[in-house]
Amino acid sequence: MNATNLHLFVLVVPLLAALAINLLGRRSRQWIAPLVLGSLAFSVFGSVIIMARVVEYGTLRYTVGNWQPPYGIELVVDPLSALMMVLIAVVALLASFSSLKSVEQELPGREHFFFTLYMILIVGLFGLVLTGDAFNLYVLLEITSITTYGLIAMGKGRAALSSFNYIIMGSIAACFYLLGIGYIYILTGTLNMADIARILPTLNAPVATATAIAFVLVGLWIKMAFFPLHSWLPNAYSQAPTGAGTLIAPLMTKVTVYLMVRVIITMYTPALVFTHEWIARGVVWAASLAIICGSVLALGQKDLRRMLTYIIIAEVGYMVGGIFLANANGLTGSILHIVNDAFMTLCLFLVVAAIIYRQGSVSLVSLRGIFRRMPITMAAFTLGAFAMIGVPPTCGFFSKWYLILGGIDGGHWEFVVALIVSSLINAVLFFRIIELGYFGSLPDGDNQEHAIDERREAPWWMLSPLVLTAVILIVVGLSTGPLVNNVIRLMIPVGF
Amino acid sequence: MEAIIGEVVAKYNYWIYVVLMMIGFYAMIGKRNLVKKLIGMNIFQTSIILFFVSTGVKKGGGIPIVDKYKALASNIDAATIVNPLPHVLMLTAIVVGVSVTGVALAVLQRIYREYGTLEEDEILEKLQR
Amino acid sequence: MRDINEHTAGEDLIIKTSVRLMVPFIQVFGLYVIVHGHYSPGGGFQGGVILGASFILLALAFGMKASQEYMTVSVNAVFNNLGPAIFVGVGVLCTLFGGLFLDYSALDNLIPLGVVEWRSFGIFLVEVGVGVAVMSIMVLLYWNLSSGGAMDEGL
Amino acid sequence: MTPIVSIWPLAAILVSLLGALPIILSDRHPNLRESWTILIALVKLMIVASLLPWVLEGGSYVFTIAQVVPGVPIELRVDALGMIFALVASCLWLFTSIYSIGYMRALDEHAQTRYFASFAVAISATIGIAFAGNLLTLYLFYEVLSLSTYPLVTHKQNAEARTSGRKYLTYILGTSIGLVLPAMLITYSIAGTLDFTTGGILAGKASPEILALLVVLFLFGFAKAGLMPFHGWLPAAMVAPTPVSSFLHGVAVVKAGVFAIFRVIFHILGPETLQSADLGSLITYIASVTILVASLIALTQDSMKRRLAYSTIGQLAYMVLGAGMLSAIGMLGGIMHLAMHAFGKITLFFCAGAIYVASKKKNISQMDGLGRRMPITYLAFFIGSLSIIGMPPLGGFISKWNLLLGAVEGDQLVLIVVLLVSSLLNAAYFFPIVYRGFFVPATDGEEEGIKEAPLFCLIPLSVTALVSLALFFFPDTLLRLARMALGS
């Protein structure tokens, strides 16, 4: 195997595994787990090697079929995309342990369909972070979206309806993106991102450039559920099969945020995006609103999973706002938060999966006394909650640190206030659940009998990735410094 | 006035795509029937495909199929053939559109089986109960 | 709606006969489009759609069961995966012989036919893969949607 | 002297953090579990004590755990100020552990394993606060302390505990996220560092308005110090078992708040900087109001623990007051009071717990004549209250004397009055308890059968009372550390 092709294999192996699962999985279920885990383990392994190589030697460029860019399709692995590859591979691997179990319970007999889509989704995500071509990005965005539609529609109850709403919204988003790309193509005659970045500033067409940016950004915002455009997300994510939620929730919105970073940094130059101060200011205001509204809406939910989906909306506000602060700290914070939020969301959704596996529901009422029934799961939940609140040394604190610092640097006090208020609301949200789980159903009186509920911990297949994720939360938090210095700093554009 | 008309006529491809897009958009937002929404979505996509294809047009351009030996013997003036790249891109976009439509139809079938109707109002009514 | 169709579809003699006559030609045309895709107008997508259409035509005229005699569900499943597998397989094969992904010239190291010839032949292989995939998926889409996922008697 | 890079500060923190594991694992064997607790407490005390000589010589230890933010690593640094707090905390943890065994077993409390494990984590965080090398590290351990004490405060797991737990977290987390975090970030964006530096890091960098804002944010943000109006959590948290109240709400948690304020005033904002911006009086006035109001409220409380809680609020404000004087002698008094009050107050809490264990009585009005049944406990209580009031020959006198000197030196008549009046108030709310215990006869002989609490309770409270006494005669080490902490 040629070493230069390694990052392509990170993508190809899960794809082949998807085909094999579709073909062999329908004969016998036994093929599924080894294929899923084996290929993803390979991806983790490969992406870590690539990460090391990129950090050491700098950006890798790869032309598919040896057609030179700007004509050929180019894959670019710069530090940021290498980081995202590792993130996707690790999250996917951890999530798939849990998914294998919960899909076995929820969708018996349809596992091979589920995991074919699941693997193709992962391949699409890998593709998204690798590609250096604007149109390719559209195609891969749609591949991930289509597989997500399918995965969500496999859920129970209203899932199909939610999926349909998602399809409509997602398609509008993709069309907007495509339209923006169309304008860029008319302007520059190229679709290669680096080429676009080279040509765009030399053109003197501010209106057309701005239109193109607006279309592209609005498209991406719908896909990532940025606040006023978020309505599709809570239903879709909370009604998806549990196994799908553990993969989709941590990765989809985060990768879309990555795409926005990519579009702003690599395809446009920041100078072109942030030409008008009032636009950036407006977006930061919108992000602040997103944070507050997402958090407040989460307060009103009676189901843990729905609550988490609203928190995702708030977190998207964090990241978008951080980017549009248009300074180095804000951008660092956003990129860091992509990583951190993926792991935090993964942790919490794994907890949801474990609880649903055991008791079928995560409505707040059903969580009474859960600490006694599932102590390890809830310990991990507590850590995840601390990360969401932003308690050091969990990773959530450090990205929030950079984001607030960026807000102070940029004079965006509304963003700072929004971040702090949302931390406080998160504290309320999560301690409400911790309290429910810890106190259980309260009898009156002082010295009541403490009924010992039977301990019914989730199986090890679900528990071990969960515990690992909880540990990762702290490890990532403590390695923030190296992460920022060796990876993220390299991505901050000059003069930012 | 004439200037405006001139502008409209000169960029008629834009106007067509904008009009189509608005029709699709209206169907997606305004119609209560889920299949109509889906059709609206298809119109929406089609408008963008048409827009893209129209960008490849050149005045007096021929089809971009070139005889190999002729091309090798003498350089071909790119101005005489239309730009094939948008067409190729749109081929992919069409495939994407077909896939989305396929998934959407499958989802609609599930919805129909579950609620016995594809009218959004009626579905929501059933969900209320 | 379904009941009416079950009674009328495929009952008409003219339709049945014309479909029976047309299908071989359609399929040959589809193959032609696939095979010539790499150096003239055509290609895997278009040819695949035409091939798939021929099977859909069969299903429309003779019912789904009849079309499944020509291409069984399991064969379709194999085709579904075979198509992409050919595509990716060719790409991977290129990397295994020292080139980049889908860099067909590298296949010259496997069977020496000449670099230029391999460029042409490699893309042909890929087009075949695409054609197979598109054909089988078109058919599968039709089967599934027309029967509500049951894959039995459709429209 | 250049600091020594050493892993021992980290070891001091980790020993109880990792020690929580064997405690949890020996869930089924209470004796083994308690042996672990005592062992860990001893080891921790020894590690902290082993760091003392070098610190006394003016040296310091540093250890960097992780690089997180440019210019602000997660770093431990053992200096004189931290050493005082760490010594007091680790020393008293040992006593509290012994006392806990007696108390928890005598009352047959549930979930003792969780109790001891959370306690171990909390003490780790406390030592972490003491040894923090910069504000970020301090904040980190501060938050860990808040969260690890939550299960302790809500130990009873009944409705009252839930309400108190809510109140506790609302005050503590709300202020630390809502006030300290922005203040810290503003400081960082101005100074570019958060290291604790003698003389502060903001000298000449911040305008008086910003400084005033920071003072207010930090002062109220570290709500564990209980400055009014952010004191409400402390009486509420008294629902916890008495060892928790005594250690956490007499020593670790509340002192962590005061300690954090000390750090901020001495090493972040800088006394000189504050002096030049004339912000000392702001701090002292806030503290004075708290002292007087808390003492007055304490007078009205009938519940023993609540009275002690309000007394604590008042005494904490003394320490802040001392720091706010910004003069060497005043600040010295503040630091000394941190240590002296710890020994005094923990004695009082231990006594309250011992009375509860022996008689199941919580209210002062029911405690008539108990002194004759429990002479040792009441004697210790008397000593402890004398120390808090500030009478010679007890440790509390030294710190209060210094505070008073500071006020006189600064010609601050108001402060002198505050100090004297509040001492009177202290006496007024403590002496009746002792008086009732010894001189008011018990009603209806219902005290039959009440005798001293178990030995596990009795020994620690006698020892802490004796230490309070001893600190009057041998305060040299503490004074020296305190002087070094002030850089003189």
**A172 shares contact with chain D (CB less than 8 Å):** no
Looking at the domain assignment, is residue A323 inside a domain? yes
Q: How confident is the model at residue C154 (pLDDT cuts 50, 70, 90)?
A: low
Contact D151 A450 (CB under 8 A): no
> For residue A216, what pLDDT is reported?
93
Q: How confident is the model at residue D447 (pLDDT cuts 50, 70, 90)?
A: low
- In one letter, which amino acid is D93? W
Looking at the domain assignment, is residue C113 inside a domain? yes
Nearest to B111 among A149, A161, A174 (CB): A161
Q: What domain count does chain B have?
A: 1
Q: What's the token pair of residue B105? A: 């139809």
Nearest to B102 among C39, C41, C141 (CB): C141
Residue C94 has pLDDT above 70, yes or no: yes
Task: Write the CB contacts of A360 (distance below 8 Å, at least 6 apart in sequence).
Answer: none
Between residues D486 and A387, the one the model is more confident about = A387
Q: For A362-407, write each residue's pLDDT tens digit.
A: 888 888 888 888 888 888 999 999 999 988 888 889 999 999 989 9
Residue A443 has pLDDT above 50, yes or no: no
For residue A131, what are the β-bridge partners?
Answer: A75
Q: What CATH code is carried by the domain that includes residue B70?
A: 1.10.287.3510
Residue D289 has pLDDT above 80, yes or no: yes
How many angstroms separate the CA atoms of D334 and D353, rounded? 28
For chain D, list residues whose CB is within 8 angstroms of any CB belonging to chain A: 65-70, 73-74, 110-111, 136, 139-140, 143-144, 147, 151, 154, 156-159, 161-162, 165-166, 169, 173-174, 177-178, 181-182, 185-186, 188-189
* Cβ-contact A177, A138 below 8 angstroms: yes
Q: Please report residues of C whose CB lies closer than 8 A to that of B106.
A: 144-145, 149
> What number is the average pLDDT over the span A465-476?
92
Looking at the domain assignment, is residue A492 inside a domain? yes
Region for residue A65 given its phi and psi (left: phi exceeds 0; alpha: psi -120 to 50; beta: otherwise):
left
> For residue C1, what pLDDT is reported?
39
* Cβ-contact D340, D387 below 8 angstroms: yes
Between residues C154 and A97, the one the model is more confident about = A97
Residue A450 has pLDDT above 70, yes or no: no
User: Among all residues of chain A, which has the CA nearest to that of C77?
Assistant: A23
Residue D436 has pLDDT above 60, yes or no: yes
Q: For D115-161, write each residue's pLDDT tens digit.
A: 888 888 888 888 899 888 888 899 989 988 888 888 888 887 778 88
Residue A449 has pLDDT above 50, yes or no: no
- What ipTM, to 2 d.p.? 0.87
Q: Which sign, positive or negative, has the C-alpha torsion A476, A478, A480, A486?
A: negative
Q: What is the mean pLDDT of chain A?
A: 87
Contact C149 B105 (CB under 8 A): no
Chains linked to B by 3 or more Cβ pairs within 8 Å: A, C
Contact B107 A179 (CB under 8 A): no
For chain B, list residues whose CB is within 8 angstroms of any CB belonging to chain A: 25, 28, 34, 37-38, 41, 44-45, 48, 51-52, 55, 86, 89, 92-93, 96, 99-100, 103-104, 106-108, 110-111, 114, 123, 127
* Cβ-contact A332, A406 below 8 angstroms: yes
How many angstroms separate the CA atoms of A414 and A402, rounded? 15
**C95 shares contact with chain A (CB less than 8 Å):** yes
Q: Calculate the dihedral angle through the C-alpha atoms of A232, A236, A238, A240, rounding to the nearest 10 degrees.
A: -170
How many angstroms separate the CA atoms of A201 and C145, rounded? 48
Nearest CA-CA distance, residue A182 and chain B, Å? 6
Chains linked to D by 3 or more Cβ pairs within 8 Å: A
> For residue A453, what pLDDT is reported?
56
How many angstroms separate the CA atoms of C115 and C118, rounded? 5
Q: What is the mean pLDDT of chain C?
A: 82
Percent of chain A whose pLDDT exceeds 70: 96
Residue B16 has pLDDT above 90, yes or no: no
Chains linked to A by 3 or more Cβ pairs within 8 Å: B, C, D
How many angstroms separate the CA atoms of A87 and A89, rounded? 6
Nearest CA-CA distance, residue A478 and chain D, Å? 6
> For residue A222, what pLDDT is reported?
92
Between residues A339 and D158, the one the model is more confident about = A339
> For residue A319, what pLDDT is reported?
92
Residue C9 has pLDDT above 80, yes or no: no
Name the residue range of residue A323's domain. Answer: 278-443+452-496
> For residue C7, what pLDDT is reported?
46
> What number is the average pLDDT over the span D255-267?
88
Q: What is the CA radius of gyration of chain B?
A: 21
> What number is the average pLDDT over the span C80-93?
88
> For residue A86, what pLDDT is reported?
93
Q: How confident is the model at residue A445 (pLDDT cuts 50, 70, 90)?
A: very low
| C-alpha neighbours within 13 Å on the C-beta side of residue A113 | 14
Name the residue range of residue C133's domain. Answer: 2-147
Between residues D250 and D15, the one the model is more confident about = D15
Residue A220 has pLDDT above 90, yes or no: yes
Looking at the domain assignment, is residue C154 inside a domain? no
Between residues A119 and A359, the one the model is more confident about = A119
Residue C24 has pLDDT above 70, yes or no: yes
Can you give D144-212 as a three-state secondary structure string? HHHHHHHHHHCCCCCHHHHHHHHHHHHHHHHHHHHHHHHHHHHHHHHHCCCECCCCCCCCCCCCHHHHH
User: Among all residues of chain B, which has the CA nearest to that of A166?
Assistant: B104
> What number is the average pLDDT over the span D299-323?
85
How many angstroms separate the CA atoms of C25 and C3, rounded? 31
How many angstroms separate the CA atoms of B34 and D98, rounded? 71
For chain C, list residues whose CB is within 8 angstroms of any CB belonging to chain B: 39-41, 45, 141, 144-145, 148-149
Nearest CA-CA distance, residue C146 and chain B, Å? 10
Q: For D349-368, write each residue's pLDDT tens digit.
A: 888 888 888 777 778 777 77
> For residue D252, what pLDDT is reported?
81
> For residue D1, what pLDDT is reported?
62
Range in A250-264, B79-93, C102-116 with the lowest mean pLDDT = C102-116
Chosen for mutation from A113, A116, A158, A168 (greatest number of chain B CBs closer than 10 Å) is A168
Chosen for mutation from A371, A383, A417, A420 (greatest number of chain D CBs closer than 10 Å) is A420
**Cα A124 off chain centre by:** 13
Nearest CA-CA distance, residue A450 and chain B, Å? 39
Listed residue (C101, C100, C117, C130) closest to C37, CA to CA: C130
Nearest to C145 among B91, B95, B109 (CB): B109
* Cβ-contact A322, A401 below 8 angstroms: no
Residue D250 has pLDDT above 80, yes or no: no
Chains B & C: contacts with CB separation below 8 Å: 16
User: Among all residues of chain C, which has the CA nearest to that of B101?
Assistant: C141
Chains linked to C by 3 or more Cβ pairs within 8 Å: A, B
- In one letter, which amino acid is A426? N
Within a 10 A sphere around the Cβ of A150, how many other Cβ atoms? 24
Listed residue (A286, A229, A285, A295) closest to A256, CA to CA: A229
Looking at the domain assignment, is residue A176 inside a domain? no
Range in B89-98, C52-61, D252-261, D391-400 with the lowest mean pLDDT = D391-400
Q: What domain count does chain C have?
A: 1
Furthest C-alpha separation in chain B: 75
**A408 shares contact with chain D (CB less than 8 Å):** yes
Between residues B70 and D172, the one the model is more confident about = D172
Residue A350 has pLDDT above 90, yes or no: yes
